[in-house]
A and B are shown apart, each in its own frame.
Chain A
Amino acid sequence: MNAEVELEAGAEMLSGGEMIARALEDEGVEFIFGYPGGAVLHIYDALFKAGRVPHVLVRHEQAATHAADGYARATGRPGVVLVTSGPGATNAVTGIATAYMDSIPMVVLSGQVQSHLIGEDAFQETDMMGISRPIVKHSFQARHATQLPEMIKKAFHIASSGRPGPVVIDIPKDITRPDETFPYRYPESVKLRSYSPAVRGHSGQIRKAAKLLLAARRPVIYSGGGVILGEGCDLLRELAKHLGYPVTNTLMGLGAYPGSDEQFLGMLGMHGLYEANMAMHNADVILAVGARFDDRVTNTVSKFCPGAKIIHIDVDPASISKTVAADIPIVGPVKAVLKDLLAAIRTLQESAEESLPDADALARWWKQINEWRDAHGLWTARRYGESELIMPQEVIESLYRVTKGDAFVTSDVGQHQMFAAQYYRFNKPRRWINSGGLGTMGFGLPAAMGVQLAFPDEMVACVTGEGSIQMNIQELSTCLQYNTPVKIVNLRNNYLGMVKQWQDMQYEGRYAMSTYEDSLPDFMKLVEAYGHVGIEVRKREELDERMAEAFAMKDRLVFLDVFIDPMEHVYPMHVAPNGSMKDMWLSKNQRV
């Protein structure tokens, strides 16, 4: 008790608002993405007076969460959001859910009405704790200013450890008032008795996994976003190279394994590559790492990879055997488990009498995979000559060429997202930034903004469509204010493309409310009105040149409006319902 009093005697006296500003600084926060309002004005004033942590004023709170999310995905550090009570908080909800579905570390500070007004339907009151409960990793409501430093430390700890995720702190206005000060000390670390994510995998399970992997004759490594989140990419590559096994990545995992490596099969799943889906379906051993057997991967679960034994590594036990039962479950952080697994494999290989894995079997497996690749590999230029119009795939290939495969690429949701995932070969993790789990249209532009702020000298492209870009187009204004020279690549087809594709395939081409008719804005005038540059591309011959022109304007935001063939579909596409991994449409009239 005495020690505590002494410590507090030496501590600085701060108001609740000042504590928040200082705690964010002490936590090493680089940017706050937010929007002020009544309930958070004390906090904003404290931030303004302290002047230490830059704040990015978005034009809609949803964009604050996406920008923080993009920042987090690109850097690996938690994104920070500050919004006011009521509509500020509810506008942030879509972005919080987006981060939750993709396990992105984020700390959201939401204002709340004064404590004595809570529950009285006060102006701009909403139950943020209740509204956000199913879409947060955890949440806190502050009751007193003195709780704030430790609460903020806990929020960052929870958001960024274990399986990461968003954490909300709801802060009633009265506890941030400037005229009441309390001793401030920011804890160096926190301990929660009820929260201790696994730090190592079970060694017995790891040995079993090593044995099964070495005995495999038709192995596939199936890795997801967890490998990126858990910083396991180098070890994944080492493991794959050591064994010579093929690797496929989920939509969230792209970049975890180098996209242009010959052992890479491409993305798997609903719009996965033929060879990736075929390899999965015919595998005898699947090593799933930081992936969650999402329904967009598995197709019909009961028909999923019938001959495969499954090893599943995940830091979240609830992800294991949730949809597909694992034969060897391993709970633990990807990095630690992969390290132990590699060591176990090497030990087994040294002690084994024969050479493991079986080189002949592996060679036969690769021969088979290469036959699949040759037969129906990524769609190459088959219709380029047939259509007068630019094909969407060509646009992504042009983007890849011009950026030399080294850009950060954010996307929105729809056909353009799938084309980008298929055709931009990501060789590094954290370069492909998209809303995989929730599928949030409107994610791309604000996310790109967050990425560009974190990496001002890097190329950042936002691949989008007319539907998605208009869901957060107001952020063009934020981009001007904070000088984020994002390159927006709009695949212009005048439809909600993915909706149209499903309507073509399943509703006999009845385009129920999936076209804008003649109502689209003149994007050139629009982006110019926002102070940016617009470039239209209508001819195939101009594509690379215009793309290069856009990226040459290093300090300007450029909106490339590329008119593409509106009839193109994304292929391969899983046959559904009742299809397995191997059942795919390869084109409009070819089904395997």
Chain B
Amino acid sequence: MRRIISILMENEPGALSRVVGLFSQRGYNIDSLNVAATEDATLSRLTLTTFGDDKHIEQITKHLNRLVDVIKLVDLTEGAHIERDLMLIKVRAEAQHREEIKRTTDIFRGQIVDVGPRVYTIQLAGTTDKLDSFVAAIPEADILEVVRSGVAGIARGEKVLRP
């Protein structure tokens, strides 16, 4: 089962490598990873997605918690949450295709953020599923480049992850 684990940790050099290292060291996989400082510059918020059964995820969260740099973490998939992945996708947009791509972009509520004579660069935010669907909707041969931020997530309602 897919899980989104959100981690609040010290914004220290080496902290990210401890998290990433833990996954390779213990044979867990990381599907996507997103990390940046929070409003408090001493804290980083890291969101990662992984796959595993309950036992597997329990071990992952226990080992993450054991890292001295990790302050708190939450498995967002255990409750209602919001997840967003940001994608920048460069597609071939020539003659008869330009209108078609524009229409598809509108349907997905994406924005064309850069226009060239033969290419569009489209920005799209949403769940991983939505982004996957958009990629599937564009003919494969027209896709020139895909960049995704990885999932960032937050719990719905008043639940917060703070030190």
Residue-by-residue, is A468-503 near B (CB-CB < 8 Å gives 1, otherwise 0)?
A: 000000000000000000000000000000000000
Chain A CB within 8 A of B52 CB: no
Q: Is the CB of A130 within 8 A of B17?
A: yes
Query: Is residue B84 contacting chain A, with contact meaning CB distance below 8 A?
Result: no
| Residue B66 interfacial (CB < 8 Å) | yes
Known: A133-B18, A318-B62, A318-B63. A194 touches B71 (CB 8 A): yes
The answer to whether A318 and B66 touch (CB under 8 A), given A141-B14, A194-B10, is yes
Is B122 in the interface zone, CB < 8 Å from A? no
* In the complex, A138 has a CB within 8 A of chain B: yes
In B3-60, which residues have CB < 8 Å from any A CB? 9-10, 13-14, 17-18, 21, 25, 55, 58-59
Interface centre among B13, B66, B69 (most CB of A within 10 A): B66
The CA of A82 and the CA of B65, in the complex, are separated in Å by 29
| In the assembled complex, B70 has its CB within 8 A of some CB on chain A | yes
Residues on A with beta carbons closer than 8 Å to the beta carbon of B18 = 133
Any B CB within 8 A of the CB of A134: yes
The reply to whether the CB of A129 lies closer than 8 angstroms to some CB of chain B is yes
Closest partner residue, chain B, to A320 (CB atom): B62
Cβ contact within 8 Å between B59 and A318: yes
Assess whether B66 is in contact with A316, with CB atoms less than 8 Å apart.
yes
Contact mask A108-141 → B, CB, 8 Å, 1/0?
A: 0000000000000000000001100110011101
User: Is A192 in the interface zone, CB < 8 Å from B?
Assistant: yes
Contacts of B107 in A (CB 8 A): none
Residues in A433-485 with C-beta less than 8 Å from chain B:
none
Taking residues whose C-beta sits less than 8 angstroms from the other chain, chain B's interface range is 20 to 34
Contacts of A317 in B (CB 8 A): 62, 65-66
Q: How far is the CA of A316 from the CA of B69 in the complex (A)?
A: 16
Number of interface residues of A (CB under 8 A): 19
Residue-wise, chain A 293-327 has the 8 Å CB interface mask toward B (1 for contact) of 00000000000000000000000111001100100
**Residue from A139, A141, A158, A194 whose CB has the most chain B CB atoms within 10 Å:** A194
Whether the Cβ atoms of A194 and B17 lie closer than 8 Å is no
Give residues of chain A (310-358) contacting chain B, Cβ–Cβ below 8 Å: 316-318, 321-322, 325
A193 contacts the other chain (CB 8 A): yes
Are A133 and B66 touching (Cβ within 8 A)?
no
Contact with A along B72-102 (1 / 0, CB 8 A): 0000000000000000000000000000000
User: In the bound complex, what is the Cα–Cα distance between A380 and B59 (angstroms)?
Assistant: 43
Given known A129-B14, A194-B9, A195-B68, contact A134–B163 (CB-CB < 8 A):
no
CA of A572 to CA of B56 in the docked complex: distance in angstroms? 34
> Which DSSP category, helix, strand, loop or mixed, fits chain B's interface?
helix
| Chain A contacts for B65, CB-based, 8 A | 317-318
| Minimum Cβ distance to chain A for residue B50 (Å) | 16
How far, in whole Å, are A316 and B65 apart by their CA atoms in the complex? 10
In angstroms, Cα B25 to Cα A193, docked, is: 25
B70 contacts across to A, CB distance below 8 A: 194
Q: A133 to B68, Cβ gap below 8 A?
A: no
Complex alpha-carbon distance, A316 and B58, angstroms: 13
Q: Are A322 and B59 in contact (CB under 8 A)?
A: yes
* Chain B residue, CB-CB nearest to A154: B68
- Contact at B10–A321, with CB atoms within 8 Å? no
**Bound CA–CA A565/B58 (angstroms):** 49
Q: Name the A residues within 8 Å of B62 (CB-CB).
A: 317-318
Inside 8 A of A130's CB, which chain B residues have their CB? 17
User: Would you call A138 and B17 a contact (CB within 8 A)?
Assistant: no
Closest Cβ of chain A: how far from B93's Cβ, in Å?
A: 42
Contacts of A129 in B (CB 8 A): 14
Residues of chain A contacted by B55 (CB below 8 angstroms): 321, 325
A194-B9, A318-B63, A321-B55 in contact; A138/B68 too (CB < 8 A)? yes
A133 and B59 contacting across the interface, CB-CB below 8 Å:
no
Interface residues of A in 168-223 (CB under 8 A from B): 192-195
Compute how far the CA of A401 lies from the CA of B95 in the bound complex, rounded to whole angstroms: 95
Query: Which among A134, A138, A316, A322 is the interface contact of B25 at CB below 8 angstroms?
Result: A134
A194 touching B68, Cβ below 8 Å: yes
Provide the bound-state CA to CA distance between A133 and B26, in Å.
13
Q: Which residues of B contact A134 (CB under 8 A)?
A: 21, 25
Residue pair A137, B68 in contact (C-beta under 8 Å): yes
- Name the A residues within 8 Å of B17 (CB-CB): 130, 133
Residues of B within 8 A of A133 (CB): 14, 17-18, 21
User: Closest approach, in angstroms, between the C-beta of A337 and any C-beta of chain B?
Assistant: 18
Shortest CB distance B68–A (Å): 4
Residues of B within 8 Å of A193, CB to CB, are: 71, 163
Contact assessment for A321 and B58 in the assembled complex, using a CB-CB cutoff below 8 Å: yes
Q: Which residues of A contact B14 (CB under 8 A)?
A: 129, 133, 139, 141
Closest Cβ of chain A: how far from B55's Cβ, in Å?
7
B136 to chain A, nearest CB (A): 39
Q: Which residues of B contact A (CB under 8 A)?
A: 9-10, 13-14, 17-18, 21, 25, 55, 58-59, 62-63, 65-66, 68-71, 163
Could you list some 15 contacts between A and B, CB below 8 A? A130-B17, A133-B17, A133-B18, A138-B68, A138-B69, A141-B14, A158-B68, A193-B71, A193-B163, A195-B68, A317-B66, A318-B63, A321-B55, A321-B58, A325-B55
